[in-house]
Amino acid sequence: MKRTPQQFKEPRYLTDKWFSVFTLGHDEPGIRNWLDDGEKNQGLAPGYTEHSVEYYINEWRYRGKLVPDTGADAAFGCSYTFGYGVSTCWAELIGAVNCGINGASNDQITRTAISYCKTFNPKNIYVLWSFKERREHVQESGLYKFRNLSNEAIKQELKNPTWISSYASLMNDQADEYNYQKNKILLESFCTTNNINLHQSTISTLPKETYPLARDSDHPGEEWHINMAGIICQ
C-alpha cells in the first residue's frame, strides 16, 4: 500500500503508539533559504550569502528529493544530519532518505528510526547520534522536546518548584550517558531482531572545527559532510 503524508502526524500531536507511528518532519514543504536568529544577529560565515544555501523540503516535511517509501534506506539524526547551513548533506551523498530533524534528541532519533522501520521496512538505516543532554518528554497531550531552562525560568522554578526543576536535575554527565546508551541499545536490538543493517556514528566522531564551518559559523560545513558520508557507511 502506498502511504501518503496525510496519513501521519507531527510528534506533538501523538498521544500514544510513539514507536509505531512514523511522524512528519517539522518544516514547511518547498524551497527555503531561511536564516536563524544566530545568523541574523552574528552575520554569515565568510563566503556565504543569504541565498547561497538552499533547502528543499519535501511533502513529508523532511529535507531532500528522496522521500519515505517502502524499502527505502533512511538517515536519522539532528541538524548535523539535516545539514543545517549547507546545500549538500551526508544523507544525500549516500542516497538515503534524510529524516534528520533540527534540534532532535537521541530519544527522538530512536523513536523516529524505529517507527520508520516498522512502516517502510528498509534494509539499511544510518544514524548519527546527537548531543547526549537532549531529551524528549512525554505528556498527556503528546511528545515534547525538553529544553534547558532560561535564566527567567530558573528564577520562577526557585520560587515555585515544579516537575521541570526535578527533570532538569537529571541533566548531568552520568544521566546523559545512560540516556544515550539506553537509546543505542534499544535501536541495535530492534535492528538485529528485524534483520536491518544499522550503520551508526556520533557527531563527536568527526570534530566539526577541523573543517570549514557552515553558513552560520556553528554547524559543520560541506567538507565535513563528505567525510561523514564515508565514515558512516563503513
Provide the pLDDT for residue 147.
Answer: 67
- Number of folded domains that form the chain: 1
Instruction: Return the minimum-mean-pLDDT range out of 33-42, 75-84, 91-100, 167-176.
Output: 167-176
- Whether 63 is in a domain gets the answer yes
Is 5 part of a structural domain of the chain? no
- DSSP helix/strand/coil, 185: helix
Asked if residue 65 has pLDDT above 80, the reply is yes
Overall average pLDDT of the 38-56 stretch: 92
Q: How do residues 140-149 score in pLDDT, each as one tens digit?
A: 888 887 766 6
Q: pLDDT value at position 148? A: 66
Q: Is residue 1 part of a domain?
A: no
- Inside any domain, residue 29: yes
Phi, psi of 58, deg, nearest 5: -80, 180
What is the reported pLDDT for 228? 98
> Residue 58: its pLDDT value, please?
97
The predicted model scores a pTM of: 0.93
Tell me the average pLDDT across 113-139: 94
The answer to whether the CB of 98 falls within 8 A of the CB of 153 is no
12: its cell numbers: 506533538
Residue 7 covered by a domain: no
Quick one: DSSP state of residue 195?
T
pLDDT tops 90 at residue 216 = yes
Grouping H, G, I as helix, E, B as strand and the rest as coil, residue 32 is strand
Cell numbers describing residue 42: 552574528
Under 8 Å CB-to-CB from 38, ≥6 apart: which residues?
A: 216, 218
User: What CATH number is given to the structural domain containing 62?
Assistant: 3.40.50
CB atoms within 10 A of CB 45: 17
In a domain, 190, yes or no: yes
Comparing 40 with 183, the larger pLDDT belongs to 183
Task: Classify residue 92: in a domain, yes or no.
Answer: yes
Burial 182-193 (b: 16+ CB within 10 A, else e): ebbebbeebbee
**C-alpha cell, 212:** 570549514
Whether the CB-CB separation of 126 and 91 falls below 8 Å is answered with: yes
Q: Domain limits at 183? A: 12-232
For residue 77, give Cα distances in angstroms to 44, 113, 114, 122: 24, 9, 13, 17
Q: Is 4 a domain residue?
A: no
